[in-house]
Structure 1
């Protein structure tokens, strides 16, 4: 398992929490809080683009 530095959990409400992490090789990770051993990974740029798109409403149709 890579050496991931996790940020504090981000929670919409008490039941919807996730964490974002990074490693020294420039990879980014996202996981459900408490389930960090089951993560998705991509480049930091890809994660930044995902978050930007979510914030701009491009993923609202998925909800």
Structure 2
């Protein structure tokens, strides 16, 4: 398992909590809080693009 530094959890309504993390190799991670052993990973740039697009409303149709 990579050495991941996890940020504090981001929680929405109904305790839907997610955590973001990074490692020393430039990878980014996202997981459900409490399930840090099961995560998705990509580059930091890809995670940054995802968050930017979500903030811009590009994923609103999924809600």
Would you say same fold, with TM above 0.5? Answer: yes
1:49-60 matches, within 5 Å, as 49-60=49-60
**Aligned-partner Cα distance in 2 for 1:43–1:22:** 9
- The normalised TM-score by structure 2 is 0.95
SS of structure 1 residue aligned to 2:2 = coil
Quote the residue 2:30 is aligned against: 30
- Kindly provide the CA deviation profile for residues 31-50 of structure 1, in whole angstroms up to 9, marking residues without a partner as x: 00001111000000000000
Number of equivalent positions:
63
- Deviating above 6 A after TM superposition, structure 1's stretches of 4 or more consecutive aligned residues are none
Structure 1: which 5+ runs fail to align?
A: none
- The normalised TM-score by structure 1 is 0.95
CA RMSD of aligned residues (A): 0.8
- Please state which structure has a larger fraction of its residues in helix: 2
